[in-house]
Structure 1
Amino acid sequence: MSSADFAPDRRPVRLGVQIAPQHAPYEVHRKTLQRVEDAGVDIAFNWDHFYPLSGDPEGMHFEAWTELAAWAEQTTRIELGPLVNCNSYRNPNLQADMARTVDHISGGRFIFATGSGWAKRDYDEYGYDFGTAGSRLDALARDLPVIRERWTKLNPAPTRRIPILIGGKGEQKTLRIVAEHADIWHSFVDPETLVHKLQVLQDHAAAIGRDVSEIEISNELRDRDEATADALYDAGVRLFTLGITAPDHDFAAMDRWIAWRDAKNA
């Protein structure tokens, strides 16, 4: 296996900016979203949590899916999605319908990015069963086919085959689910670890007869330098994400990575 298996020449480098829905009034997030789209970022993400993940744990925070519906109306070009939806918080048929609806509002720009969930405070405060890491992954594996099937039944149907992004790095369960269902695999692992994880993913894909080149590889840029980004690129990453948060959104970092993306695609 080589990085070419995961990053065929036809796949460009893309940049996604995750705008954390915390620590500012909504009008600030709306202006940030516009700045991100106007700058030429490829994808705008938020996250599916109910409380801040950094800073004041009791600070301002907004719900992911209602915000995404607003983003779909407020933008015209950029793709959008949660990074990532928590499978535990909603019935899979409902998730499918919500995704289809945001897909239509956006005119076909929605990415269904999902995962098994991990933030115990969300579960405890909102009354969800936390279970175990294994049981949450089992539920994700069970629910993804339900979501796909519901998309075939909805009227109107989705505007396109909605891309599925799956986040996580576990080798026995997560990467097997990625091999079966994902169009995009997202993780935070370092370049050296990524090479090993991609081999595991290749093995899972081979076991089910999947062409691994169909899967776009995604990783995070925050707190990383260009040398690390170059190493991730060489390993096969083509979607790079950058997390920014209020009260001080770091547009300088965003502009820096846009320039790096454009140089890679030149």
Structure 2
Amino acid sequence: MRNESLVLNKKSWDEVAPRFFGRNPLPEYGPLAPQEEDLNLLGDVAGMKVLDIGCGSGHSLQYMDARDAAELWGIDLSKTQIETAKELLKESKAPVHLFESPMEENPGLPLAYFDIVYSIYALGWTADLRKTITNVHDYLKPGGIFIFSWEHPLHSRASLVGEELHFNKSYHEEGAYDHEAWHAPAIMQQYKVSTYINTLIEGGFDIEKVIEEVSLTEKDEERHANRWYSFEKAKMMPTTLIIKSRKKSNRVST
């Protein structure tokens, strides 16, 4: 099932990549979510070696370059996305290393090397959450930080009908599913908030911040009118889950 998901998702992303060019990159963490300027989760990235899991079109790495990161590394399942990112980043100040690969596999990334690993709206595409978290742990230096954002697990479980939220699927149901808003054959993974947190803890991370707030400015309302992440729905439930964690100095086996 894992290999089938990866093959299907790669094909899907290669086809739809142009539609997501520059969609919600850093400093954004997701639609109708607070931005890095509000949260300051990354801190000063100058001189840092950074790795983007699911780097997409490369715009988040471009943001890191503008903030003087020392090295820009990225991994993405899609050949189209990697080619786009290479073109976008060809004049970056920092050296760039991009890999076309599933996040569940290490395509040759150095271990215990990165100061920051992050993933913006990509982690829910993993076919093996535990393996991906293990890889992230291996890539980071002791004390390095891992930040990810993804659609909040509640968001796709409820629909806004008039002024009421109607739940259409159990929050407790986890695993592979076809996302209602994704208009191409693909398989994402549904996990509870506790599953993300516990997998990080079991993988050798300390949780530093869990964020479920929304941003409901006039600009946000205009950008997301009549979309999957609607302004009205965001008034009642979070769109995005953001978690900041840090690799322990010494991993404890469980």
Structure with the higher helix share, 1 or 2: 1
Q: Which has the higher strand share?
A: 2
Bigger RCO of structures 1 and 2 (CA < 8 A, at least 6 apart)? 1
In the superposition, the TM-score normalised over structure 1's length comes to: 0.36
Normalising by structure 2, what TM-score?
0.37
